[in-house]
Amino acid sequence: MSDATGADPAAAQNPGAAVLVKAPTGIGGFDEITRGGLPRGRATLVTGGAGSGKTLFGLEFLVWGARKFGEPGVLLSFEESAEELATNVSSLGFDLRQLEREGQLAVDAFRIDRDALMAAGGFDLEGLFIRLGRAVDSIGAKRVVLDTIEALFTALGSELTVRAEVSRLLRWLKDRGLTVIITGEPGRSGELTRYGIEEYVSDCVVVLDDRVQDELATRRLRVAKYRGSLHGTNEYPFVITDRGIVVLPLIETGLAYQASNERISTGIDRLDHMLDGGVYRGSTVLVSGGSGTGKTSLAGHMVDAACRRGERALYVSYEESQDQVLRNMGSIGLDLNRWVESGLLRLWAVRPAAYGLEEHLVQLQRRLDEFGPSLVVLDAMAGLNHIGTSTSVSATIASQIDMIKSRGVTAVLTALTHYGQDESSVMAVSSLMDTWLLLRNTELDGERNRLLLVIKSRGSAHSNQVREFVLTARGAELLDVYVGPRGVLTGSARMAQRADERAAATGRNAQFQRRRQALARRTAQVEQQITALRDELAAELAELDQFIDQDVAAVEGRDADRAVMAAHRWADPGATPDPDANQP
Amino acid sequence: MNTGDVSGEQPAGPAKNVDGVIFDLRLYTAGQSPKSILAIENLRRVCDEYLPGRYRIEVIDLLETPEFARAAEIIAVPTLVRRLPLPIRTIIGDLSDTDRVLVGLQLRPDGWRSP
């Protein structure tokens, strides 16, 4: 079959090929991986061992065909009676009897009592054709399921005859444009079917498998062949839920998301700022960190922010009960209870071990579809680690992300990491994340503090700064950290550093003040001295003037005396100057 | 060879106590197909030879009364049903293998082959 599988894409790319019309099965996930369902008007072989779910697959094809797509169907059962069939699927909510009453379904169960039957000569399966024809005509059927026609080989003995008749039957069905599922069981040596009927069903082959791997039972589905159509060739896990089969396309729908340019707030202003305005709507945010670093609190803020915007949020808690989550959020000032009451927030607390991985996916999918949130928190992914191998857990988480992202819903995942492996342990999923916030504990001076950094934020500028993440009674806050010669300081160390800085600053101020005062004092002193000197000078000047005045008076007096004396002596006034006259 | 001889030879033969019992046989056919015509001929021949005077044959053409196909659980055509004596026995095919027809009608033991 592998060569045929490889040829399919080429066939689909052939521009001359007729467009293949498909008939949706209505089986969750299957129509996605086959891009529309089964080939319409053709037969599909669904093969799988006992209990692999092939009968259910066929039944769902008929039930959904009638219920969702207005296509009545016929079931020819060669292994189970109509009563058994009806009972087996009633637990899945399929009421075959009701569908029969409505003329949407015709069931014809073939009872072949091998012990009471004997072949004596050539025969054909005209009886089967007549019954099938009547059933198809009676309800205008568009779909037919033959489950499992290989029973005829063992019951009727003549393999050649049955083979020829099966071949004729398939042509007959094709001529009538019926979309058909034929079920089969794999042969002992790994053949698709025990009697090689895949030879007559060349259009589409679906293989179901129920295997135990690492002690975990896992159902797998694979489209082994699909002529003329692209299809996922992976093995897809599927589960049988209380609503039927759900196939889980893991990474198939992966990259067809619409990228929104709208930013939404994380509920923490400074974080929004670090992320250049918040995270993109519909993007995925990973919050990783050790225990007690505040991952849940951060997620809680994003939930709160979403509800404040009037949007719905789904909080999936794998670790804590609803009450616990609400109480813990309350302790940091986040009243999420009001959102629960107003119906905007739905908390789903589920133990990881409550379901298998696939069932977790199905449950999540159901909640996404029913509740329609715009933001989903998965807290914490690590919870799933205990219920599967690391590959299957990673695949499951990838599916969850895919499932959320494909709906345009913003996803917030928290991941517990352990000291020393902060960034590596979540590598498996980190590549699927658009924004990665890392919370880290630091220990210094006997206390722990939280740091937050943005490791990446796709399509967005973001801060490369480390911030301290502080949980207060009013909610989370981001603070600048002190980066200095002693490294990054947080908490008390940061506060101490601040105090030191303040003290130092105060000291310097006082010194300036003192110097300024000293200088002022000195200035005053100098000015005083200047004034004193000036006064002194002025005093001396005044003294000098007085002296000069006295001297002039004295000279004048002496001249007068001299004139008196000259007159008295009869001396020549200009002949002999008085030597005393030049003395100061 | 008559039926009495055979049942006498049979130690654990299921064909016992059918002497004198009326065989109520119904043959389901599909129109005038070669196999259907052949089956009717073969059945009459076997009955005339091995159940002279104590058989009743009803031929039902499923093309005319298709509702019988489901009611009688018919898949293969032709199908011969021994309605009486009980238990009900079913033989499919055009009845050209007379030995198998005799075994099927429990006129011969299981696995019996004519010499």
Quick check: pTM over 0.90?
A: no
Asked if A120 and B67 come within 8 Å (Cβ–Cβ), the reply is: no
pLDDT digits (tens, 9 = 90+) for A72-88: 999 999 888 888 888 88
Kindly list the residues from chain A whose CB atom is less than 8 angstroms away from the CB atom of residue B63: 130
Q: Could you tell me which residue, A112 or A183, shows the higher pLDDT?
A: A183
Q: Tell me: pLDDT of B38 over 80.
A: yes
Average pLDDT of span A280-291: 86
Starting at the earlier edge strand, list the strands of the sheet with A284-289: A345-349, A313-317, A375-379, A410-416, A284-289, A435-444, A447-457, A467-472, A475-480
- Could you tell me the pLDDT band of residue A254, with boundaries at 50, 70 and 90? very low
Nearest CB among A108, A113, A127 relative to B76 is that of A127
pLDDT average, residue stretch A369-376: 91
According to the model, what pLDDT value does residue A18 have?
56
A212 to chain B, any CB pair closer than 8 A? The answer is: no
* pLDDT recorded at residue A426: 61
- Alpha-helical (H) ranges within A15-113 are 30-33, 54-68, 82-90, 96-101
| Strands of A4-148, DSSP E | 22-23, 38-39, 43-47, 73-77, 105-109, 117-119, 143-147
Helix (H, G, I), strand (E, B) or coil at A19: coil
Answer yes or no: are the C-beta atoms of B8 and B100 closer than 8 Å.
no
Q: What integer pLDDT is reported at residue A194 of this predicted model?
A: 83
- Phi, psi values for residue A144, rounded to 5°: -140, 135
- Inform me whether the pLDDT recorded for A53 exceeds 90: no
What are φ and ψ of residue A76, in 5° steps? -105, 115
- Here the tokens at position A400 are 């969850």
> Which range has highest mean pLDDT (A204-218, A248-262, A510-524)?
A510-524
Closest by Cα among B101, B96, B63, B108 to B82: B101
| Res A8 pLDDT > 90 | no
Please indicate whether residue A19 or residue B73 has the higher confidence score (pLDDT). B73
Supply the pLDDT for residue A44.
93
* Residue A19 pLDDT greater than 90, yes or no: no
The CATH code that applies to domain B21-104 is: 3.40.30.10
Round to whole Å and give the CA distance between A147 and A74. Answer: 11
C-alpha neighbours within 13 Å on the C-beta side of residue A421: 8
In this structure, of A47-56, A181-190, B3-12, B23-32, the range with the lowest mean pLDDT score is B3-12
Share of chain A above pLDDT 70, in %: 84
Confidence of residue A406 (pLDDT cuts 50, 70, 90): confident
Show residues of chain B in contact with A111, CB under 8 Å: 73
Say which range, A56-65, A394-403, B68-77, has the weakest mean pLDDT.
A394-403
- Res B2 pLDDT > 50: no
pLDDT of residue A430 exceeding 80: no
Contact (Cβ atoms closer than 8 angstroms) between residue A173 and residue A12: no
Position with higher pLDDT, A352 vs A262: A262
Q: Which of A23, A404, A93, A407 is nearest to A245 (CA)?
A: A93
Provide the pLDDT for residue B3.
39
> What mean pLDDT is reported for chain A?
81
A314/B14 Cα distance (integer angstroms): 72
Task: Say how far apart CA A365 and CA A402 lie, in whole Å.
Answer: 11
- Please provide the DSSP assignment of A154-212 as one string: HHH--HHHHHHHHHHHHHHHHHTT-EEEEEE---TTS-SSTT-GGGG--SEEEEEEEEE
Output the pLDDT for position A86.
85
Q: How many residues does chain B have?
A: 115
User: Catalytic: A468?
Assistant: no
Q: Which CATH architecture has domain A2-115+132-247?
A: 3-Layer(aba) Sandwich (3.40)
| pLDDT of A180 | 94
Residue range A468-481, pLDDT digits in tens: 888 887 778 888 77
> Based on the number of CB atoms within 10 Å of its own CB, is A427 exposed (0-12), middle (13-18) or buried (19 or more)?
exposed
pLDDT in tens, A443-469: 777 777 888 888 888 777 777 778 888
What does the domain layout of chain B look like in residue ranges? Answer: 21-104
Across the interface, of A110, A118, A121, the residue whose CB is closest to B96 is: A121
CB B101 within 8 A of CB B40: no
Residue A170, amino acid: L
> What percent of chain A has pLDDT above 90?
20
Residue of chain A minimizing CA distance to B92: A119
Distance CA A392, CA A94 (A): 31
A440 or A493, greater pLDDT: A440
Most confident of A42-56, A208-222, A347-361: A42-56
Distance CA A169, CA A204 (A): 17
Contact A364, A379 (CB under 8 A): no
Which residues in A467-504 are b (16+ Cβ under 10 Å) and which e? bbbbeeeebbebeebbeeeeebbbbebbeeeeeeeeee
B75 touches chain A (CB under 8 A): yes
Least confident of A132-146, A484-498, B10-24: B10-24
For residue A108, the chain B residue with the least C-alpha distance is: B70
Read off φ and ψ for residue A86, nearest 5 degrees: -60, -40
Lowest mean pLDDT among A34-48, A198-212, A525-539, B25-39: A198-212
Residues 6+ apart with CB under 8 A from A312: A306, A344, A345, A346, A371, A372, A373, A374, A375
A164 vs B: CB within 8 A: no
Catalytic residue among A80, A100, A191, A319: A319
Subunit contact B38:A121, Cβ cutoff 8 A: yes
Domain edges within chain A: 2-115+132-247, 263-480
> How would residue A495 be classed by pLDDT, with cut points 50, 70 and 90?
confident
Per-residue pLDDT for A341 more than 60?
yes
Of all helices (H) and strands (E), which one includes residue B66?
none
The 10 Å Cβ neighbour count of residue A465 is 13
Distance, CA of B115 to CA of A572 (rounded, Å)? 212
User: Can you read off the two tokens belonging to residue A446?
Assistant: 């006997």
Q: How confident is the model at residue A482 (pLDDT cuts 50, 70, 90)?
A: low
Q: Given CB atoms, is A119 within the 8 Å cutoff of chain B?
A: yes
What is the distance between the alpha carbons of residues A203 and A242, in angstroms, rounded to a whole number?
Answer: 31
Residue A5: pLDDT band by 50, 70, 90 thresholds? very low
Asked if omega into B85 is within 30° of 0 (cis), the reply is yes
Q: Give the mutation candidate from A108, A126, A168 for the B interface (greatest B CB count, under 10 A).
A: A126
Give the pLDDT score at A381: 73
Evaluate if residue A203 carries a pLDDT over 50.
yes
Q: What's the whole-number mean pLDDT along residues A244-259?
A: 63
Q: CB of A27 within 8 A of CB of A170?
A: no
pLDDT of the residue at A422: 47
Q: What is the pLDDT of residue A449?
A: 81
Residue A440 CB neighbours (<10 A)? 19
Which CATH class, in words, describes the domain spanning A263-480? alpha beta
Give the residue among A325, A403, A329 at the shortest CA–CA distance from A368: A403
